[in-house]
């Protein structure tokens, strides 16, 4: 298998876009679901509104994670799909970070490491 074939980077780009879009939608769903649950809980008579700050902090932390990991990964996926040179190093970095996400992220991370560290044909030793 030729690891320096550009189709591999396009595949990684598509996977980055799909995973990022999936997680962005899941976090948006979670945020809306928690708003619904909190609105239902506030209708109860024994609800303490002083506890809402905890849910605001949790939501802020989760959206910070989304902005830190999934939005740049989406942009990198588009860069890899359009074969931009600047997307190679960030793609490798996010591939290494993906190793922590067992089992699919681990497979993606190994695939990214193999593709982004493959020698170019002129660098091969004969």
Percent of the chain whose predicted confidence (pLDDT) is above 70: 95
Q: What is the arithmetic mean of pLDDT over 61-89?
A: 94
| Residue 120 buriedness (CB in 10 A; 0-12 / 13-18 / 19+) | exposed
Residues 105-118 pLDDT 10s:
999 999 999 999 98
Domain residue spans in the chain? 6-41+55-118
Residues 10-25 pLDDT 10s:
999 999 999 999 999 9
Tokens of 51: 């506890």
Please report the pLDDT score of residue 46 as a whole number.
82
Q: For the chain, what is the mean pLDDT?
A: 90
**CA within 13 Å, CB half, 73:** 27
Q: For residue 21, which of 62, 66, 55 has the smallest C-alpha distance?
A: 66
Q: What is the arithmetic mean of pLDDT over 83-106?
A: 93
């Amino acid at each position: 298998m030729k690891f320096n074939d550009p189709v591999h980077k396009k595949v990684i780009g598509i996977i980055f876009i799909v995973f990022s879009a999936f997680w962005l939608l899941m976090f948006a769903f979670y945020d809306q679901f928690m708003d619904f649950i909190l609105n239902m809980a506030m209708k109860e008579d024994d609800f303490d509104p002083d506890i809402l700050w905890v849910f605001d902090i949790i939501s802020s932390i989760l959206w910070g994670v989304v902005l830190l990991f999934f939005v740049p990964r989406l942009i990198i996926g588009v860069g890899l799909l359009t074969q931009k040179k600047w997307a190679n190093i960030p793609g490798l970095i996010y591939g290494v970070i993906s190793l922590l996400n067992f089992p699919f992220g681990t497979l993606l991370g190994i695939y990214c490491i193999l593709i982004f560290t493959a020698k170019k044909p002129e660098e091969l030793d004969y």
